[in-house]
Structure 1
Amino acid sequence: MWGRAGRDLRCRRKLRSPAPAPPLPLDNDDLLSDILLRLPPSPSSLPRASLVCKRWRRLVSAPAFVRSFRARHRRNAPLLGFFTHEESRLSFTSTLEPPDRLPRGPFSLELEGRCRILGCRHGLVLIVNWIDLYFLVWEPVAGDLSRVAFPPEFRDGGSAVFQHAAVLRAPGDVHAGEDLSIPFLVVLVGSDTTVTRACACVYSSETGVWGDLVSTACPSKVPMYNPSTLIGSSLYWLLGPTMAILKFDLDRQFLVVIDAPLHNCLYSMFRYWVMPAEGGGLSFLCLSGYDAQLWMMKMDCDGISGWVLGRTIELDKLWLNSTEELSPLIVGFAEEDNMSFLMTSFGGVISGIMVKLNSTQFKKSFGVKCLGIHHSFASVYTSGIGIDGGHAGAELLHNT
């Protein structure tokens, strides 16, 4: 009896359908998308992923995925290259190696003769028309171009005179719905008509209005040529002709003038730059011939801040030839990588080099077409995937 029951039980077990195998992790679109979001933010990442199969291309080309990819990597966006102003256009030079080297086309912009570039930050380019008194805020990756009129105080008959400006992403911005534009701030700085006070005000693209004008006594005159430097939540401009540094605190909305390390010296083009110190804080770069001095702002035991010479780098002993006629000049600075753009000559040919002076790490050389500021540009470029459109992805992967 038990033998027959045992045989029946074994038969029923054989007839029972096996339990279905659990789905593989990569069969789940949500999980796979979350994994793909972790790809590095280099321009070739998504085009490469899209070539794996139709399913991967569908996932990485979805507008919602592209928005999430940009938002995830926005804080560590790679340095894509730099802009220079050549005649009546902004010209872009990619500093990346293939397959990430970018085409010039999507990053070129024709300008009126009255316009000039002031700086780049957070994937945005700031341009000023100093005759008609308005700014253009250009987002090359998305193709957005916004026009912002000067506030009344800086227009004809106003109490202030324009000197410089900076653009940056609005704090805590997120993309909502299908709106892909970056909420931004424009910080305009200038002086009163007697050039004894520096002043500033902030425009928000989210409200569409300028904030109140703030000012501070400024013993130095306020001509500015170098772009601003963002350190923490403060913007810094180098003043002249007797050198000083203008600081604008974005959180507390106030201006202050700080003595430069060489405050008794006259400002000289392409020799000085305000930059972030290693580990945070304020630093100052001075080029004298082939010597690069890095000064640091330190606080003593009494809580008083002052400048201390951190180190002196002898550039001719690293990779520069001191027998050349042209000693190094500072033509730009990339905040994202703490990378200085220096211009010098090699074998009688004018060239540029990228170098991290804090670590004396030589990056690469680049061609120099004109003597002027090279405005570094960092952003998350998705190379023709999804909302970018076009065939940039194919161009990027052509040489892989």
Structure 2
Amino acid sequence: MQEHSALLTRFHQKRREQHVWRRRGSSPAAPASLPDDYDLLREILLRLPPQPSSLPRASVVCKLWRAVTTDPKFLQCFRAHHRKPPLLGYFGAAFGDKVEIVFRPTLDHPDRIPPERFSLRGCSRRENYVLGCRHGRVLVDCPAQKEVVVCEPISGGQRRVAVPPEFKNGFHDGAVLCAAGDQGHVHGGCHSCPFKVVLLCMPEEDNRALACLYARYDCGYPSILVGDALYWLDMSNGMLEFDLDGQSISVITGPPMTDDFCHGSIQIIKAEDGVVGLASFSYPSIQIWQRKVNCNGVATWLVCKTVDLHNIIGLPPQLDERDSGMETILGYAEDTNDILIYVHSSVYTVQLKSMQPKKLHETHHVMDYHPFTSFYTPGTHA
């Protein structure tokens, strides 16, 4: 914030100096230590928060600001500067006269996105369900059509992918991710780049997990991308690892949890060191684990921290017996490191590093929530 204020002060000072020189009928020699107005303004605007309203609000200041904030090269630099896109909301089922896939925003006004803006159109029918969200895309399973659909809510685009024949008789899960790997590319800021679909399958006749890149094992949990591998929880509190580069699948043993946490809800996360980790929620505590692999390839699970929810301001006080029993983890946002939890008939996000909570809404329906993160500037996409 101090750096942003200093740049803004320099910008206004330079504008005043140029105004004085114009009144005198001559122009100054540009100081070598200062960039011109346009470059300096770019540096200022790059530091605006990556929320949907930031650039549109800046663009109405004047023609110069509008020229900067709508420049495609600036937009690319803006996303590269922030790297991680914001959490715009999540996709999940809506219960009412009919069950369908809907978008629920998490941001407050003026960044709050109307749910209808991110409608999945023909994919939101009752029989379809979300497999996961990543890099500005939503992967929807359409069992009746024997296909999955990659939806891009911001651009409105959809691409249909047929399910391989050998996967149609088994339970399945899947993941979508951006395939662009060029230098400087920012995931979540692209809406027309190639993508990859990974499908996992557990055939009914045996227990061998299959995977392909186009690239399906229904464990009921969405995948988590950590480094160059996708991870799914299995039924024994371990996990499946799919190496995207080697296109190989392996089974990882989970941590030695106590009975309380073994019977709680578990979520794969990105640990602070960039390695795979686990969050286990057994009310009222959240326990964070990370997996360390030494130079000999021996893996060890370590407890990073255990947090009592009673000590977090913004979450409900201790529950009585009538309210307890349904507390669970509903989802996880990779880019922002937030988990979604269900406590006391309400859904909350909790930032795992700061343990800062935010109440989203009240509901009596417990279901999977699929966080959707992306850079989004209204008016710049179809």
User: TM-score, normalising length from structure 1?
Assistant: 0.75
Instruction: Output the amino acid matched with 1:323.
Output: L
Q: Is the Cα–Cα contact under 8 Å of residues 234 and 247 in structure 1 kept in the other structure?
A: yes
After TM superposition, the structure 1 = structure 2 runs for residues 105-144 of structure 1, keeping only pairs within 5 Å, are: 105-110=116-121, 111-144=124-157
Could you say what secondary structure the match of 2:144 adopts? coil
Instruction: Output the amino acid matched with 1:93.
Output: R
Matched, 1:296 2:290: yes
Match in the other structure for 1:168: 177
Please give the per-residue CA displacement for 1:300-334, whole angstroms capped at 9, x wherever unaligned. 68541122333332223434423332253101111
CA distance 1:184–1:67, shift in 2 (3 Å): farther
Q: Is the Cα–Cα contact under 8 Å of residues 333 and 341 in structure 1 kept in the other structure?
A: yes
- Distance in 2 between residues matched to 1:366 and 1:168, nearest whole Å: 26
The alpha-carbon deviation at position 74 of structure 1 amounts to: 7.3
Q: Is the Cα–Cα contact under 8 Å of residues 296 and 307 in structure 1 kept in the other structure?
A: yes
The alpha-carbon deviation at position 270 of structure 1 amounts to: 7.3
Instruction: Output the amino acid matched with 1:149.
Output: A
Could you say what secondary structure the match of 1:197 adopts? coil
CA distance 1:354–1:142, shift in 2 (3 Å): same
Q: Is the Cα–Cα contact under 8 Å of residues 243 and 263 in structure 1 kept in the other structure?
A: no
The alpha-carbon deviation at position 285 of structure 1 amounts to: 1.7
The alpha-carbon deviation at position 362 of structure 1 amounts to: 2.1
Could you say what secondary structure the match of 1:380 adopts? coil
- Distance in 2 between residues matched to 1:99 and 1:199, nearest whole Å: 45
Equivalent residue in structure 1 for 2:76, among 53, 57, 68: 68
Q: Is the Cα–Cα contact under 8 Å of residues 260 and 282 in structure 2 kept in the other structure?
A: no
After TM superposition, the structure 1 = structure 2 runs for residues 372-391 of structure 1, keeping only pairs within 5 Å, are: 372-384=367-379, 386-388=380-382
- Distance in 1 between residues matched to 2:213 and 2:260, nearest whole Å: 29
Equivalent residue in structure 1 for 2:63, among 29, 41, 54: 54
Q: Is the Cα–Cα contact under 8 Å of residues 291 and 302 in structure 2 kept in the other structure?
A: yes
Match in the other structure for 1:7: none
Could you say what secondary structure the match of 2:356 adopts? strand
Q: Is the Cα–Cα contact under 8 Å of residues 237 and 266 in structure 2 kept in the other structure?
A: no
Could you say what secondary structure the match of 2:83 adopts? helix
Q: Percent identity?
A: 36
Q: Is the Cα–Cα contact under 8 Å of residues 136 and 145 in structure 1 kept in the other structure?
A: yes
Matched, 1:326 2:324: yes
Please give the per-residue CA displacement for 1:69-101, whole angstroms capped at 9, x wherever unaligned. 575357311111112122443222222222222
Instruction: Output the amino acid matched with 1:21.
Output: P
Equivalent residue in structure 2 for 1:230, among 220, 225, 228: 225
The alpha-carbon deviation at position 143 of structure 1 amounts to: 1.6
Could you say what secondary structure the match of 2:145 adopts? coil
Could you say what secondary structure the match of 1:131 adopts? helix
The alpha-carbon deviation at position 228 of structure 1 amounts to: 0.8
CA distance 1:271–1:55, shift in 2 (3 Å): same
Match in the other structure for 1:285: 279
The alpha-carbon deviation at position 260 of structure 1 amounts to: 1.7
Match in the other structure for 1:3: none
CA distance 1:18–1:167, shift in 2 (3 Å): same
Could you say what secondary structure the match of 1:147 adopts? strand
The alpha-carbon deviation at position 249 of structure 1 amounts to: 1.0
Could you say what secondary structure the match of 1:312 adopts? strand
Match in the other structure for 1:396: none
Please give the per-residue CA displacement for 1:48-82, whole angstroms capped at 9, x wherever unaligned. 111111343244335x3475257535731111111
Q: Is the Cα–Cα contact under 8 Å of residues 293 and 312 in structure 1 kept in the other structure?
A: yes
Match in the other structure for 1:338: 337
Greater Cα shift, 120-129 or 164-173: 164-173
- Distance in 1 between residues matched to 2:177 and 2:298, nearest whole Å: 30
Could you say what secondary structure the match of 2:61 adopts? coil
Match in the other structure for 1:42: 51
- Asked which structure has the greater CA Rg, the reply is 1
Q: Is the Cα–Cα contact under 8 Å of residues 91 and 104 in structure 1 kept in the other structure?
A: yes
Which gives a bigger RCO, structure 1 or 2 (Cα 8 Å, sep 6+)? Answer: 1
The alpha-carbon deviation at position 376 of structure 1 amounts to: 0.8
Please give the per-residue CA displacement for 1:285-309, whole angstroms capped at 9, x wherever unaligned. 2222322222222346854112233
Could you say what secondary structure the match of 1:337 adopts? coil
Matched, 1:250 2:261: no
Match in the other structure for 1:394: none
Please give the per-residue CA displacement for 1:254-293, whole angstroms capped at 9, x wherever unaligned. 1100112258989999711111111221211222232222
Aligned length: 341
- Distance in 2 between residues matched to 1:79 and 1:106, nearest whole Å: 15
The runs of 5 or more residues in structure 2 that have no matched partner are 1-23
CA distance 1:270–1:91, shift in 2 (3 Å): farther
CA distance 1:344–1:264, shift in 2 (3 Å): closer
